[in-house]
Amino acid sequence: MKKDLRVILSGGGTGGHIYPAIAIAHEIKTRYPEAEILFVGASDRMEMEKVPQAGYKIEGLWISGIQRKLTMSNLMFPFKLLSSLAKSRRIIREFKPDVVIGTGGFASGPLLKVANSNGIPTLIQEQNSFPGITNKLLAKQADKICAAYEEVKRFFPAEKTVITGNPVRQDLLKIDENREKALAHFGLEKDKKVVLVLGGSLGARRINQLVEANLERFKEENIQLIWQTGKLYFEEYKKYNSGLVQTHLFLNEMNLAYGAADVIISRAGAGTVSELSIVGKPVLFVPSPNVAEDHQAKNAMAVVKKNAAMMLKENELDEKFETEFFALMASEEKQEELGENIKKLALPNATARIVDEVEKLIKK
Protein backbone atom coordinates (compact mmCIF):
# COMPACT_ATOMS: atom_id res chain seq x y z
CA MET A 1 0.00 0.00 0.00
CA LYS A 2 1.34 3.43 -0.91
CA LYS A 3 2.64 5.43 2.02
CA ASP A 4 1.36 8.80 0.82
CA LEU A 5 -2.28 7.67 0.86
CA ARG A 6 -4.77 10.49 0.18
CA VAL A 7 -8.40 10.07 1.28
CA ILE A 8 -11.45 12.35 1.12
CA LEU A 9 -14.39 11.64 3.45
CA SER A 10 -17.70 13.36 2.91
CA GLY A 11 -20.84 13.19 5.01
CA GLY A 12 -22.71 15.34 7.43
CA GLY A 13 -25.76 17.32 8.36
CA THR A 14 -26.32 15.12 11.42
CA GLY A 15 -24.16 13.26 13.91
CA GLY A 16 -25.37 10.02 12.32
CA HIS A 17 -23.38 10.87 9.18
CA ILE A 18 -20.44 12.69 10.82
CA TYR A 19 -19.36 10.27 13.57
CA PRO A 20 -19.07 7.21 11.28
CA ALA A 21 -16.88 9.29 8.93
CA ILE A 22 -14.64 10.36 11.83
CA ALA A 23 -14.40 6.74 13.07
CA ILE A 24 -13.34 5.60 9.57
CA ALA A 25 -10.75 8.41 9.42
CA HIS A 26 -9.31 7.35 12.80
CA GLU A 27 -8.98 3.73 11.60
CA ILE A 28 -7.23 4.82 8.37
CA LYS A 29 -4.82 6.98 10.41
CA THR A 30 -4.12 4.05 12.75
CA ARG A 31 -3.14 1.87 9.77
CA TYR A 32 -1.47 4.63 7.73
CA PRO A 33 -0.12 7.36 10.04
CA GLU A 34 1.24 9.29 7.03
CA ALA A 35 -2.13 9.37 5.23
CA GLU A 36 -3.50 12.77 4.17
CA ILE A 37 -7.19 13.01 5.07
CA LEU A 38 -9.59 15.75 4.01
CA PHE A 39 -13.27 16.06 4.93
CA VAL A 40 -15.88 17.78 2.76
CA GLY A 41 -19.18 18.86 4.33
CA ALA A 42 -22.03 21.34 4.02
CA SER A 43 -20.73 24.79 4.91
CA ASP A 44 -23.47 25.68 7.42
CA ARG A 45 -23.86 22.34 9.24
CA MET A 46 -22.43 20.79 12.40
CA GLU A 47 -19.59 18.97 10.62
CA MET A 48 -17.79 22.32 10.20
CA GLU A 49 -17.36 22.34 14.01
CA LYS A 50 -17.17 18.60 14.86
CA VAL A 51 -14.57 17.55 12.27
CA PRO A 52 -11.88 20.13 13.26
CA GLN A 53 -12.52 19.18 16.92
CA ALA A 54 -11.59 15.60 15.92
CA GLY A 55 -8.35 16.88 14.39
CA TYR A 56 -9.09 16.89 10.63
CA LYS A 57 -9.25 19.56 7.92
CA ILE A 58 -12.62 20.22 6.30
CA GLU A 59 -13.85 22.15 3.24
CA GLY A 60 -17.46 23.32 3.05
CA LEU A 61 -19.85 23.16 0.07
CA TRP A 62 -22.82 25.49 -0.39
CA ILE A 63 -25.44 22.73 -0.41
CA SER A 64 -28.63 21.75 1.40
CA GLY A 65 -31.51 19.34 0.96
CA ILE A 66 -34.77 19.91 -0.84
CA GLN A 67 -37.64 20.85 1.46
CA ARG A 68 -41.06 19.26 1.01
CA LYS A 69 -42.71 22.63 0.42
CA LEU A 70 -41.86 25.55 -1.83
CA THR A 71 -39.23 27.64 -0.04
CA MET A 72 -36.48 30.08 -0.98
CA SER A 73 -33.98 27.31 -0.17
CA ASN A 74 -35.64 25.08 -2.80
CA LEU A 75 -35.51 27.84 -5.41
CA MET A 76 -31.79 28.24 -4.68
CA PHE A 77 -31.10 24.48 -4.94
CA PRO A 78 -30.00 24.41 -8.64
CA PHE A 79 -27.50 27.24 -7.95
CA LYS A 80 -26.21 25.49 -4.82
CA LEU A 81 -25.79 22.24 -6.75
CA LEU A 82 -23.83 23.90 -9.57
CA SER A 83 -21.65 25.74 -7.04
CA SER A 84 -21.00 22.48 -5.12
CA LEU A 85 -20.13 20.54 -8.26
CA ALA A 86 -17.67 23.26 -9.32
CA LYS A 87 -16.03 23.36 -5.88
CA SER A 88 -15.93 19.52 -5.75
CA ARG A 89 -14.07 19.50 -9.10
CA ARG A 90 -11.53 21.97 -7.70
CA ILE A 91 -11.08 19.99 -4.45
CA ILE A 92 -10.54 16.70 -6.31
CA ARG A 93 -8.21 18.29 -8.87
CA GLU A 94 -6.04 19.87 -6.15
CA PHE A 95 -6.13 17.13 -3.49
CA LYS A 96 -5.81 14.16 -5.93
CA PRO A 97 -7.43 11.52 -3.66
CA ASP A 98 -6.76 7.78 -4.03
CA VAL A 99 -10.27 7.03 -2.76
CA VAL A 100 -13.39 9.00 -1.78
CA ILE A 101 -15.72 7.78 0.99
CA GLY A 102 -19.28 9.04 1.50
CA THR A 103 -21.27 8.49 4.69
CA GLY A 104 -24.51 10.17 3.59
CA GLY A 105 -25.83 13.70 3.80
CA PHE A 106 -26.20 16.22 0.98
CA ALA A 107 -22.54 17.25 0.69
CA SER A 108 -21.46 13.73 -0.24
CA GLY A 109 -23.65 13.83 -3.38
CA PRO A 110 -21.74 16.35 -5.55
CA LEU A 111 -18.35 15.21 -4.28
CA LEU A 112 -18.81 11.48 -5.02
CA LYS A 113 -20.48 12.31 -8.35
CA VAL A 114 -17.34 14.22 -9.41
CA ALA A 115 -15.04 11.48 -8.06
CA ASN A 116 -16.93 8.84 -10.07
CA SER A 117 -16.72 10.88 -13.28
CA ASN A 118 -12.94 11.19 -12.73
CA GLY A 119 -12.47 7.44 -12.32
CA ILE A 120 -11.54 7.70 -8.62
CA PRO A 121 -12.71 4.68 -6.54
CA THR A 122 -15.66 5.50 -4.27
CA LEU A 123 -17.20 3.75 -1.28
CA ILE A 124 -20.46 4.68 0.43
CA GLN A 125 -21.43 3.72 3.96
CA GLU A 126 -25.17 3.44 4.65
CA GLN A 127 -26.11 3.54 8.33
CA ASN A 128 -29.87 3.02 8.09
CA SER A 129 -32.10 0.06 7.25
CA PHE A 130 -33.76 2.29 4.63
CA PRO A 131 -31.22 4.30 2.59
CA GLY A 132 -31.27 8.07 2.26
CA ILE A 133 -31.84 9.74 -1.09
CA THR A 134 -28.17 10.75 -1.56
CA ASN A 135 -26.85 7.21 -1.16
CA LYS A 136 -29.63 5.80 -3.36
CA LEU A 137 -28.55 8.13 -6.17
CA LEU A 138 -24.84 7.38 -5.68
CA ALA A 139 -25.15 3.58 -5.37
CA LYS A 140 -25.20 2.81 -9.11
CA GLN A 141 -21.76 4.33 -9.69
CA ALA A 142 -20.13 3.56 -6.32
CA ASP A 143 -17.48 0.83 -6.35
CA LYS A 144 -18.47 -0.54 -2.93
CA ILE A 145 -21.37 -0.10 -0.52
CA CYS A 146 -20.88 -0.91 3.17
CA ALA A 147 -24.22 -1.31 4.93
CA ALA A 148 -25.44 -2.01 8.46
CA TYR A 149 -28.66 -3.91 7.72
CA GLU A 150 -29.54 -6.83 5.44
CA GLU A 151 -32.74 -4.93 4.57
CA VAL A 152 -30.86 -2.41 2.40
CA LYS A 153 -29.75 -5.03 -0.10
CA ARG A 154 -33.03 -4.62 -1.99
CA PHE A 155 -32.11 -0.99 -2.73
CA PHE A 156 -28.47 -1.50 -3.79
CA PRO A 157 -26.64 -3.66 -6.37
CA ALA A 158 -26.06 -6.97 -4.52
CA GLU A 159 -22.63 -7.64 -6.03
CA LYS A 160 -21.26 -4.35 -4.60
CA THR A 161 -22.92 -4.46 -1.18
CA VAL A 162 -21.30 -5.89 1.94
CA ILE A 163 -22.84 -5.94 5.44
CA THR A 164 -20.23 -4.47 7.78
CA GLY A 165 -22.34 -2.77 10.47
CA ASN A 166 -21.99 0.82 11.66
CA PRO A 167 -18.83 2.24 13.26
CA VAL A 168 -19.29 2.39 17.06
CA ARG A 169 -17.25 3.32 20.12
CA GLN A 170 -14.91 0.50 21.06
CA ASP A 171 -15.26 1.26 24.79
CA LEU A 172 -18.74 -0.34 24.66
CA LEU A 173 -17.31 -3.83 24.17
CA LYS A 174 -16.54 -4.29 27.87
CA ILE A 175 -19.39 -2.51 29.64
CA ASP A 176 -20.41 -5.61 31.63
CA GLU A 177 -17.04 -5.55 33.38
CA ASN A 178 -17.73 -1.96 34.49
CA ARG A 179 -21.06 -2.52 36.26
CA GLU A 180 -19.81 -1.73 39.79
CA LYS A 181 -17.71 1.21 38.59
CA ALA A 182 -20.75 2.51 36.66
CA LEU A 183 -23.09 2.31 39.66
CA ALA A 184 -20.50 4.05 41.84
CA HIS A 185 -19.96 6.77 39.19
CA PHE A 186 -23.68 7.66 39.23
CA GLY A 187 -24.12 7.00 42.98
CA LEU A 188 -26.74 4.29 42.36
CA GLU A 189 -27.88 1.45 44.62
CA LYS A 190 -27.11 -2.12 43.54
CA ASP A 191 -30.40 -3.61 44.65
CA LYS A 192 -32.67 -1.28 42.63
CA LYS A 193 -33.32 -1.45 38.88
CA VAL A 194 -31.84 1.33 36.72
CA VAL A 195 -33.58 2.75 33.63
CA LEU A 196 -31.49 4.86 31.23
CA VAL A 197 -33.47 7.40 29.18
CA LEU A 198 -31.85 8.78 26.00
CA GLY A 199 -33.32 11.37 23.67
CA GLY A 200 -30.19 12.48 21.81
CA SER A 201 -27.87 15.39 22.58
CA LEU A 202 -30.55 18.04 21.99
CA GLY A 203 -33.23 15.98 23.72
CA ALA A 204 -36.61 14.56 22.70
CA ARG A 205 -39.65 16.52 23.89
CA ARG A 206 -42.06 13.59 23.76
CA ILE A 207 -39.75 11.22 25.66
CA ASN A 208 -39.18 13.86 28.35
CA GLN A 209 -42.93 14.42 28.69
CA LEU A 210 -43.40 10.66 28.98
CA VAL A 211 -40.88 10.32 31.80
CA GLU A 212 -42.37 13.31 33.63
CA ALA A 213 -45.87 11.81 33.39
CA ASN A 214 -44.66 8.49 34.84
CA LEU A 215 -42.35 9.74 37.61
CA GLU A 216 -44.74 8.65 40.37
CA ARG A 217 -44.97 5.13 38.92
CA PHE A 218 -41.17 4.90 38.66
CA LYS A 219 -40.95 5.90 42.35
CA GLU A 220 -43.62 3.37 43.36
CA GLU A 221 -41.64 0.64 41.59
CA ASN A 222 -38.40 1.80 43.28
CA ILE A 223 -36.75 2.33 39.87
CA GLN A 224 -33.67 4.56 39.59
CA LEU A 225 -33.54 6.85 36.53
CA ILE A 226 -30.55 8.18 34.59
CA TRP A 227 -32.45 10.72 32.49
CA GLN A 228 -30.63 12.53 29.71
CA THR A 229 -33.02 15.41 29.06
CA GLY A 230 -30.88 16.98 26.32
CA LYS A 231 -29.68 20.53 25.85
CA LEU A 232 -33.05 22.01 24.86
CA TYR A 233 -34.95 20.67 27.87
CA PHE A 234 -32.55 20.48 30.82
CA GLU A 235 -33.68 23.76 32.44
CA GLU A 236 -37.30 22.56 32.31
CA TYR A 237 -36.69 19.15 33.92
CA LYS A 238 -33.71 19.60 36.27
CA LYS A 239 -36.18 20.33 39.14
CA TYR A 240 -36.93 16.58 39.27
CA ASN A 241 -33.37 15.72 40.29
CA SER A 242 -33.68 13.63 43.49
CA GLY A 243 -32.55 10.38 45.09
CA LEU A 244 -34.14 8.08 42.51
CA VAL A 245 -34.11 10.49 39.57
CA GLN A 246 -30.92 11.90 38.01
CA THR A 247 -31.41 14.51 35.31
CA HIS A 248 -28.46 15.13 32.98
CA LEU A 249 -28.07 17.71 30.21
CA PHE A 250 -25.64 15.37 28.46
CA LEU A 251 -23.88 12.09 29.32
CA ASN A 252 -20.15 12.24 28.59
CA GLU A 253 -19.42 8.78 30.02
CA MET A 254 -21.79 6.79 27.81
CA ASN A 255 -20.00 3.50 28.49
CA LEU A 256 -20.71 3.94 32.23
CA ALA A 257 -24.34 4.97 31.59
CA TYR A 258 -24.88 1.82 29.52
CA GLY A 259 -23.01 -0.24 32.13
CA ALA A 260 -25.29 0.95 34.95
CA ALA A 261 -28.56 0.43 33.03
CA ASP A 262 -30.86 -2.58 33.34
CA VAL A 263 -33.33 -1.29 30.72
CA ILE A 264 -32.99 1.54 28.19
CA ILE A 265 -35.56 3.89 26.60
CA SER A 266 -34.11 5.46 23.45
CA ARG A 267 -34.56 7.07 20.07
CA ALA A 268 -33.64 4.83 17.12
CA GLY A 269 -30.99 6.66 15.09
CA ALA A 270 -28.82 4.22 13.14
CA GLY A 271 -25.69 4.79 15.25
CA THR A 272 -27.65 4.44 18.49
CA VAL A 273 -29.24 1.16 17.35
CA SER A 274 -25.78 -0.20 16.46
CA GLU A 275 -24.40 0.85 19.85
CA LEU A 276 -27.32 -0.69 21.72
CA SER A 277 -26.81 -3.99 19.89
CA ILE A 278 -23.27 -4.14 21.28
CA VAL A 279 -24.46 -3.07 24.75
CA GLY A 280 -26.90 -6.01 24.78
CA LYS A 281 -29.49 -4.60 27.21
CA PRO A 282 -33.31 -4.67 26.80
CA VAL A 283 -34.48 -1.58 24.91
CA LEU A 284 -37.75 0.23 24.29
CA PHE A 285 -37.34 2.29 21.12
CA VAL A 286 -39.41 5.48 20.71
CA PRO A 287 -38.47 6.50 17.14
CA SER A 288 -38.46 10.16 16.18
CA PRO A 289 -41.26 10.93 13.71
CA ASN A 290 -39.36 14.04 12.54
CA VAL A 291 -36.69 12.40 10.38
CA ALA A 292 -36.53 11.90 6.62
CA GLU A 293 -38.36 8.86 5.25
CA ASP A 294 -39.25 7.67 8.79
CA HIS A 295 -35.73 6.18 9.11
CA GLN A 296 -35.87 5.68 12.85
CA ALA A 297 -39.08 3.61 12.84
CA LYS A 298 -37.58 1.43 10.10
CA ASN A 299 -34.31 0.99 12.04
CA ALA A 300 -36.23 0.00 15.18
CA MET A 301 -38.55 -2.35 13.28
CA ALA A 302 -35.55 -4.22 11.83
CA VAL A 303 -34.61 -5.08 15.44
CA VAL A 304 -38.16 -5.63 16.77
CA LYS A 305 -38.85 -8.16 13.98
CA LYS A 306 -36.06 -10.33 15.43
CA ASN A 307 -37.64 -10.19 18.93
CA ALA A 308 -34.64 -8.16 20.04
CA ALA A 309 -36.33 -4.95 21.30
CA MET A 310 -39.69 -3.29 21.91
CA MET A 311 -40.97 -0.25 20.03
CA LEU A 312 -43.72 2.27 20.69
CA LYS A 313 -44.39 5.14 18.29
CA GLU A 314 -44.98 8.55 19.85
CA ASN A 315 -48.73 8.40 19.12
CA GLU A 316 -48.98 5.07 21.03
CA LEU A 317 -47.26 6.21 24.24
CA ASP A 318 -50.31 7.49 26.16
CA GLU A 319 -52.26 4.31 25.51
CA LYS A 320 -49.57 1.62 25.76
CA PHE A 321 -46.46 2.79 27.62
CA GLU A 322 -47.50 2.15 31.21
CA THR A 323 -48.83 -1.33 30.54
CA GLU A 324 -46.09 -2.55 28.21
CA PHE A 325 -43.03 -0.92 29.78
CA PHE A 326 -43.78 -1.84 33.39
CA ALA A 327 -44.65 -5.40 32.29
CA LEU A 328 -41.11 -5.55 30.85
CA MET A 329 -39.66 -4.18 34.12
CA ALA A 330 -41.50 -6.93 36.05
CA SER A 331 -40.21 -9.77 33.84
CA GLU A 332 -36.57 -10.76 34.30
CA GLU A 333 -37.16 -13.45 31.66
CA LYS A 334 -38.30 -10.94 29.01
CA GLN A 335 -35.41 -8.59 29.82
CA GLU A 336 -32.91 -11.42 29.41
CA GLU A 337 -34.49 -12.60 26.15
CA LEU A 338 -34.40 -9.11 24.54
CA GLY A 339 -30.85 -8.48 25.78
CA GLU A 340 -29.55 -11.76 24.38
CA ASN A 341 -31.35 -11.33 21.05
CA ILE A 342 -30.17 -7.75 20.40
CA LYS A 343 -26.59 -8.78 21.18
CA LYS A 344 -26.79 -11.35 18.35
CA LEU A 345 -27.26 -8.44 15.91
CA ALA A 346 -24.06 -6.68 17.01
CA LEU A 347 -21.29 -6.09 14.47
CA PRO A 348 -18.50 -4.75 16.71
CA ASN A 349 -15.74 -4.74 14.10
CA ALA A 350 -17.58 -2.54 11.60
CA THR A 351 -14.97 0.23 11.30
CA ALA A 352 -12.14 -2.21 10.63
CA ARG A 353 -14.23 -4.09 8.07
CA ILE A 354 -15.12 -0.86 6.24
CA VAL A 355 -11.43 0.13 6.03
CA ASP A 356 -10.61 -3.42 4.80
CA GLU A 357 -12.97 -2.66 1.89
CA VAL A 358 -11.28 0.73 1.33
CA GLU A 359 -7.91 -1.04 1.11
CA LYS A 360 -9.25 -3.48 -1.52
CA LEU A 361 -10.39 -0.54 -3.66
CA ILE A 362 -7.00 1.16 -3.48
CA LYS A 363 -5.12 -2.05 -4.32
CA LYS A 364 -7.18 -2.40 -7.51
Residue 363: its pLDDT value, please? 86
Give dist(CA 288, CA 69) in Å, integer. Answer: 21
Average pLDDT, the chain: 89
229 in a known ligand binding site: no
Domain 169-342: top CATH class: alpha beta
Query: Does the structure show a pLDDT above 80 at 78?
Result: no
Residue 1: its pLDDT value, please? 54
Q: Are 48 and 60 in contact (CB under 8 A)?
A: yes
With a pLDDT cut of 70, the percent of the chain lying above it is: 94
Residue 126's identity, in one-letter code, is: E
**Angle of helix 72-95 relative to helix 108-117, nearest 10 degrees?**
40
Q: How confident is the model at residue 105 (pLDDT cuts 50, 70, 90)?
A: confident
Highest-pLDDT range among 36-40, 171-175, 287-291: 36-40
Which residues contact residue 16 at a Cβ distance below 8 angstroms, ignoring those fewer than 6 apart?
A: 104, 127, 269, 270, 271
Query: Does the structure show a pLDDT above 60 at 272?
Result: yes
Query: Does the structure show a pLDDT above 60 at 65?
Result: no
296 in a known ligand binding site: yes
Residue 170: its pLDDT value, please? 74
Residue 326: its pLDDT value, please? 97
Handedness of CA 151, 152, 154, 159 (dihedral sign): negative
Which burial class, exposed, middle or buried, applies to 300 when counting CB atoms under 10 A from its CB (0-12, 13-18, 19+)? Answer: buried
The arithmetic mean of pLDDT across residues 152-170, rounded, is 91
3-state secondary structure string across the chain:
CCCCCEEEEECCCCHHHHHHHHHHHHHHHHHCCCCEEEEEEECCCCHHHHHHHCCCEEEEECCCCCCCCCCHHHHHHHHHHHHHHHHHHHHHHHHCCCEEEECCCCCHHHHHHHHHHCCCCEEEEECCCCCCHHHHHHCCCCCEEEECCHHHHHCCCHHHEEECCCCCCHHHHHHHHHHHHHHHHHCCCCCCCEEEEECCCCCCHHHHHHHHHCHHHHHHCCCEEEEECCCCCHHHHHHHCCCCEEEECCCCCHHHHHHHCCEEEECCCHHHHHHHHHHCCCEEECCCCCCHHHHHHHHHHHHHCCCCCEECCHHHHHHHHHHHHHHHHHCHHHHHHHHHHHHCCCCCCHHHHHHHHHHHHHHC
C-alpha distances (whole Å) from 37 to each of 62, 96, 114, 188, 358 are 21, 11, 18, 43, 13
201 in a known ligand binding site: yes
Q: How far does Cα 321 stand from its chain's mean position?
A: 25
Q: How far does Cα 214 stand from its chain's mean position?
A: 28
15 in a known ligand binding site: yes
The arithmetic mean of pLDDT across residues 317-333, rounded, is 96
Q: Are 97 and 31 in contact (CB under 8 A)?
A: no
73 in a known ligand binding site: no
Query: Does the structure show a pLDDT above 70 at 76?
Result: no
Residue 221: its pLDDT value, please? 95
User: Could you tell me which residue, 200 or 258, shows the higher pLDDT?
Assistant: 258
Residue 147: its pLDDT value, please? 95
The arithmetic mean of pLDDT across residues 114-137, rounded, is 92
- Sheet bearing 224-228, strands edge to edge: 245-248, 224-228, 194-198, 263-266, 283-285, 310-311
**Right CATH number for 4-167+347-361 from 3.40.50.2000, 3.30.410.10, 3.20.20.150, 3.30.2350.10?**
3.40.50.2000
353 in a known ligand binding site: no
With vertex at residue 290, the alpha carbon angle to CA 287 and CA 291, rounded to the nearest 5 degrees, is 80
Query: Does the structure show a pLDDT above 90 at 204?
Result: no
Domain ranges of the chain: 4-167+347-361, 169-342
Check for a shared fold between 4-167+347-361 and 169-342.
Answer: yes
C-alpha distances (whole Å) from 278 to each of 187, 229, 288, 328 are 24, 23, 21, 20
pTM for this one?
Answer: 0.83
Range in 88-92, 168-172, 276-280 the model is least confident about: 168-172
Q: How confident is the model at residue 29 (pLDDT cuts 50, 70, 90)?
A: very high
Give dist(CA 131, CA 147) in Å, integer. Answer: 9
Residue 68: its pLDDT value, please? 52
Give dist(CA 89, CA 204) in Å, integer. Answer: 39
342-354 pLDDT, tens digit per residue, is 999 999 899 999 9
